[in-house]
Amino acid sequence: ASHWPFESWGRFLPEHTTAVSMLDRLLHHCHTIVTDGDSYRMRQARAKGGTRLNTH
């Protein structure tokens, strides 16, 4: 789920409170780096002719 922004974690977890609790425990005392743009893997896939995004 690392490709999903934190605000969207409630979409694939059963309850919003579950997502909030998980994120609270995962992010406590950590440094978060938010990046934007395609990953190297996505760039390689597109260069090879792949254009379909799998969001499941």
> Which residues in the chain show pLDDT less than 50?
1
Q: Are 19 and 10 in contact (CB under 8 A)?
A: yes
Q: What is the pLDDT of residue 50?
A: 65
What are the extents of the domains in the chain? Answer: 6-50
Give residue 53's pLDDT.
Answer: 57
Q: What is the pLDDT of residue 52?
A: 60
| Alpha carbons 8 and 20: distance in angstroms, whole number | 11
Which amino acid would we find at residue 51? T
